[in-house]
Amino acid sequence: MSAANSGPAADSGAIEGLSGIPHLDVDPFSTEFFSDPYPTHDLLREAGPVVYLDKWNVYAVARYAEVHAVLNDPLTFCSGRGVGLSDFAKEKPWRPQSIILEADPPAHARTRAVLNQVLSASVVKRLREGFAAAAAAKVDELLKVKSFDAIADLAEAFPMSVFPDALGLKQEGREHLLPYAVVGFNAFGPPNELRQKALERSAPHQAYVQEQCQRENVAPEGFAGCIHARADTGDITGAEASLLVRALLSAGIDTTVNGIGAAVYCLARFPEQFALLRQDPTLARSAFEEAVRFESPVQTFFRTTTREVEISGHRIGEGEKVLMFLGAANRDPRRWDAPDSYDITRRTSGHVGFGSGIHMCVGQLVARLEGEVMLTALAQRIAKIEITGEPKRRFNNTLRGLDSLPVTVTPA
Ligand code: OVV
C-alpha cells in the first residue's frame, strides 16, 4: 500500500484504517457477490495483502502468498474456535464441535492420523475399479437420454451412487446427505438469510446424520466401519469414532458434487480443452484438478488468531477472525500465469482448492478418484457437451457451484 495511513487508497475503493489496513465495504456472502465474485476477488487482492471487511468485522486475505501462509501457521491461525465466522470462544457451535476440522495441534494429530489411514492411498486404490465401472455406467445411461441436467443427473447422481456405499451407509435416508451438507457449509458463513434458513430446517437432517454415525448402523467394511474399528484398538473412543464418521458425512459429498459439477461446466464451456482430453484421456486427473483450481468449489474458510500477529507488515490482534479466499488465491496473477484460463495441461500443484498444511482435505484421494474416473468416462464416450439452457447458480456461504446445467451430449 501507499504511505498514507488514512484517506482513500488509489484504485481499490478502500479506506485505510489507522493500522494501514484497507477497510472494504464488500459482502462476500451476498448473492450479488456469488453471482460474479471475480471483480471483487480482484479488488480484495489489489487493496492490500490483508484487508478488513466492515460488513462482518473480520480481516481477510485474498492473495495466494498470504492465504498459503495463514493455512500453514495453524498455531497462530487456529481452527479450534471454528472455521466459520462464529467464534466458539464467544458463541456455542450449532452442533458439537468437529474433532478434526475444528481442532488444533497437538490434539488434531491423533484424529487426523485415523482418517489419514482410513482414507489412505492403498485403501482408495481398492475402490478404483468399482468407481470407474459406476462412472462408465452413469455416462452410458446419460447417453441414452442425451439431454439432461449435468448437476442433478451427473454431478450429484454419480457421487451419490458410489460414496454412501463406500462409507457403508444403509440405503434408507440417504436423501438427507446433500441437505445436511448444505446446512454445514452455509453454517460457516455469517448469520445471513442463507445460514438462518438452512439451520431452521436442519433438524431432520441432523437426526439422520446423528443416527448413521453410530456403529450399529454402518457396514463393518466401509469407511465408517473402519473408523469404528479404531475404537477397538484404543486409538479413539466410540464417541470420537462417531464424530469422525460425521466429518465424512458432512464433507464427503457436496464437495465432490461441486468439484465434478465444476469440471463438467468447464469442459462444456471450453470445448478445445474437452478435445484435448478426448485425444488423451490420461489427462482426466489433471483436468479435474484444474477445475478445482479454476472454480474452487470450497471458496472460503476462516481462522482465529491466537496471539497478536503481523501479516505482511500489518498487525492483527489476538482473537480476530481471518477470512481466507481460497478461490481468489487460486486465481492470483502473482502466482498463476493466465489465472482465468481453464488449461488442463497447466501445472496445478500448489493450488489451495483442497487447502494446505495440516488441515488439507483428508478425503482428497477419494475426491480425485471420483473426478478422474468420471472425466475418463466422459472423454472415452462423448464427442461433444453442449449447454442448451441458462445455467442456474446455487447460492451457499461456502460452496461455489450450479443448481442446474442443461446439456445435450453427442456420443463419440
Ligand atoms: C461441513 C464440514 C466440512 C468439512 C469438515 C466437516 C464438516 C467436519 O465435520 O469435520
In terms of Cβ atoms closer than 10 Å to its own Cβ (0-12, 13-18, 19+), residue 143 is: middle
User: Is residue 18 scored above 70 in pLDDT?
Assistant: no
User: What is the predicted pLDDT for the residue at 17?
Assistant: 62
User: Is residue 138 scored above 80 in pLDDT?
Assistant: yes
User: At residue 60, what are phi and psi to the nearest 5 degrees?
Assistant: -150, 145
Average pLDDT value for the chain: 96
Residue nearest atom 9 in ligand 1 by C-alpha distance: 247
User: Is residue 11 scored above 60 in pLDDT?
Assistant: no
Q: Which of 98, 112, 115 for mutating ligand 1's site (highest number of atoms within 8 Å of CB)? A: 98
User: String of b and e for 97-117 (b: at least 16 CB within 10 Å)?
Assistant: bbbbbbbbeeebeebbebbee
CA of residue 101 to ligand 1 center, whole Å:
6
Residue nearest atom 10 in ligand 1 by C-alpha distance: 247
- Kind plus residue range of the DSSP H or E element containing 165: helix 157-167
Where does the pLDDT of residue 1 fall: very low under 50, low under 70, confident under 90, or very high at 90 and above?
very low
User: Is residue 5 scored above 60 in pLDDT?
Assistant: no
CA of residue 227 to ligand 1 center, whole Å:
16
User: What is the predicted pLDDT for the residue at 19?
Assistant: 74
Q: pLDDT over 90 for what percent of the chain?
A: 95
Q: How many CB atoms lie within 10 A of CB 313?
A: 11
CA of residue 355 to ligand 1 center, whole Å:
13
Where does the pLDDT of residue 12 fall: very low under 50, low under 70, confident under 90, or very high at 90 and above?
low
Residues 57-75 have a mean pLDDT of 98
CA of residue 47 to ligand 1 center, whole Å:
31
CA of residue 381 to ligand 1 center, whole Å:
35
CA of residue 189 to ligand 1 center, whole Å:
13
User: Is residue 44 scored above 50 in pLDDT?
Assistant: yes
Position in ligand 1 atom list of the atom nearest CA 100: 10
CA of residue 108 to ligand 1 center, whole Å:
14
399 and 299 Cβ atoms separated by less than 8 Å: yes
Where does the pLDDT of residue 7 fall: very low under 50, low under 70, confident under 90, or very high at 90 and above?
very low
Residues 101-107 have a mean pLDDT of 98
Residue 105, C-alpha cell as written in the block: 495441534
70 and 322 Cβ atoms separated by less than 8 Å: yes
User: What is the predicted pLDDT for the residue at 2?
Assistant: 34
* DSSP conformational letter for 320: -
Residue nearest atom 8 in ligand 1 by C-alpha distance: 247
List pLDDT tens digits, range 144-175.
999 999 999 999 999 999 999 999 999 999 99
Where does the pLDDT of residue 123 fall: very low under 50, low under 70, confident under 90, or very high at 90 and above?
very high
Q: Which of 88, 101, 102, 116 for mutating ligand 1's site (highest number of atoms within 8 Å of CB)? A: 101
User: Is residue 14 scored above 80 in pLDDT?
Assistant: no
Terminal C-alpha separation, the chain? 53
Position in ligand 1 atom list of the atom nearest CA 101: 10
User: What is the predicted pLDDT for the residue at 4?
Assistant: 34
Instruction: Give the domain ranges of the chain.
Output: 14-411
User: What is the predicted pLDDT for the residue at 13?
Assistant: 62
Q: Which amino acid is at 367?
A: A
178 and 156 Cβ atoms separated by less than 8 Å: yes
Q: Cβ < 6 Å from ligand 1: which residues?
A: 98, 100-101, 184-185, 246-247, 250-251
Q: Which amino acid is at 347?
A: R
List pLDDT tens digits, range 361-397.
999 999 999 999 999 999 999 999 999 999 999 999 9
353 and 57 Cβ atoms separated by less than 8 Å: no
More confident residue, 173 or 16: 173
* Dist. CA 292–CA 92, nearest whole Å: 32
User: What is the predicted pLDDT for the residue at 6?
Assistant: 37
User: Is residue 3 scored above 50 in pLDDT?
Assistant: no
The top-level CATH class assigned to 14-411 is mainly alpha
Where does the pLDDT of residue 9 fall: very low under 50, low under 70, confident under 90, or very high at 90 and above?
very low
User: Is residue 262 scored above 80 in pLDDT?
Assistant: yes
List pLDDT tens digits, range 214-255.
999 999 999 999 999 999 999 999 999 999 999 999 999 999
Where does the pLDDT of residue 207 fall: very low under 50, low under 70, confident under 90, or very high at 90 and above?
very high
